[in-house]
A and B are shown apart, each in its own frame.
Chain A
Amino acid sequence: KNQVEQSPQSLIILEGKNCTLQCNYTVRPFSNLRWYKQDTGRGPVSLTIMTFSENTKSNGRYTATLDADTKQSSLHITASHPRDSAVYICAATTGNQFYFGTGTSLTVIP
């Protein structure tokens, strides 16, 4: 069964701290792994996209890693800011089909 699991469910950190969100997936045939940021009441916005041959990809203070062997990905956020407060969703695709995780709710306290 194709599925994506994320941890932790929620996370609260102080402004300026770093954090790492985890994503495990079992999707076949695997095409790419995506991380999205979803602000409250808004649609998801793409942060990074990685194929199986890519180990890491950065987008500003966001750095995603991918281990296609263990089917794990992480999203590292450095120097967090209150505007980073959102739900972060991991999605693994087969090319045509997207499989979404339930997300990690991040709260950054000023």
Chain B
Amino acid sequence: GAVVSQHPSRVICKSGTSVKIECRSLDFQATTMFWYRQFPKKSLMLMATSNEGSKATYEQGVEKDKFLINHASLTLSTLTVTSAHPEDSSFYICSARTGLVTEAFFGQGTRLTVV
């Protein structure tokens, strides 16, 4: 199956700093990428949808200035958590999809801890 690589898998940062998470589709072109946030024992919560070359569409309640999403190419999307706070600590997962099929492939996830 298709492979989506997410990096880093774990990151610890200090409050006030910014963290960038990368999501790459390794063997297919991802026209659409999704970013999710998952709290312990909770479901995946969609944060935003990004289409290559256009601005991301954010879900209600997600601060676009805090969670910057860039989808500059068909194989790479990045999520930058700006001015991170401890409450931003969470598990972030990306998902990539081509325009040809409805299957969505997930990255391995990134555990962010803000101290």
Contact = CB atoms under 8 A, between A and B. Distances in A.
Interface stretch (B13-21, B67-75, B76-84, B105-113): B105-113
Interface string B19-46: 0000000000000001000000111101
B106 A44 contact: yes
B102 A93 contact: yes
Nearest to B46: A98
Interface residues of A, number: 21
Given A98-B46, A102-B43, A103-B43, A43 B106 contact: yes
Contact of B43 (A41, A95, A101, A105): A101
Contacts, number: 44
B109 A42 contact: yes
Contact of A102 (B4, B41, B46): B41
A43 B102 contact: no
Contacts of B104: 98
A62 to B, nearest CB: 15
A49 to B, nearest CB: 7
B103 A44 contact: no
Contacts of B109: 41-43
Interface of B: 1, 4, 6, 9, 34, 41-44, 46, 91, 93, 95, 102-109, 111
Please list the 6 inter-chain residue pairs (A to B) with the smallest Cβ-Cβ separation, ordered nearest first: A43-B106, A102-B43, A100-B43, A100-B44, A43-B109, A44-B106
23 contacts: A9-B41, A32-B102, A36-B106, A41-B9, A41-B91, A41-B111, A43-B6, A43-B95, A43-B106, A43-B107, A44-B106, A45-B106, A46-B103, A89-B44, A98-B34, A98-B44, A98-B104, A100-B44, A101-B43, A102-B41, A102-B43, A103-B43, A105-B41
